[in-house]
């Protein structure tokens, strides 16, 4: 039996949640949507999530704190950060927090599919 692949989409932005959930439905990946930080962390601890899509504007621009919490409870969980900041400094700050990669908005759907496919195999 094939292992169930589950992604958690953590964002207060309805457009981001809708975009990723639609993509995951098309490519056959189960997903959980969370717009609350506490619930997102609880899901990460309770469910065998294989990938986290984390909006860096999550919880009133407190995405870096959220990443720190996630890395404490699931240090090896692959994280894809969605950001509006294309600066090298901003990207490096996220990579230093342990994210697998950063997607700068607007995001190309082909890029998402490639990165998600790679991350789900980890």
Q: How far apart are CA 24 and CA 15, in angstroms?
A: 14
What are the φ/ψ torsions at residue 93 (nearest 5 degrees)?
Answer: -60, -40
Residue boundaries of the structural domains of the chain:
6-120
Residue 4 pLDDT > 70: no
The CA-based dihedral angle spanning residues 65, 68, 74, 78, taken in that order and rounded to the nearest 10 degrees: 90
According to CATH, the topology of domain 6-120 is: Rossmann fold (3.40.50)
Residue 2 pLDDT > 60: no
The CA-based dihedral angle spanning residues 100, 50, 63, 55, taken in that order and rounded to the nearest 10 degrees: 90
Q: How far apart are CA 26 and CA 104, in angstroms?
A: 22
pLDDT at 1: 33
From the list 40, 47, 43, the residue with the least C-alpha distance to 10 is 40
- The string of pLDDT tens digits covering residues 33-70 is 999 888 999 999 999 999 999 998 875 656 788 899 99
- The string of pLDDT tens digits covering residues 54-113 is 998 875 656 788 899 999 999 999 999 999 889 999 999 999 999 999 999 888 888 888
């Amino acid at each position: 039996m094939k292992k169930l692949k589950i992604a958690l989409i953590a964002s207060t932005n309805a457009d981001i949640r809708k975009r990723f959930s639609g993509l995951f439905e098309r490519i056959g990946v189960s997903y959980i949507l969370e717009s609350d930080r506490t619930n997102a962390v609880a899901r990460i601890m309770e469910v065998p999530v294989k990938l986290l899509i984390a909006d860096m504007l999550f919880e009133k621009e407190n995405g870096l704190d959220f990443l720190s919490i996630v890395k404490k409870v699931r240090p090896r969980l692959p994280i894809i950060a969605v950001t509006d900041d294309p600066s090298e400094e901003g990207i490096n700050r996220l990579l230093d927090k342990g994210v697998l990669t950063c997607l700068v908005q607007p995001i190309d759907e082909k890029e998402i599919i490639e990165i998600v496919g790679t991350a789900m195999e980890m």
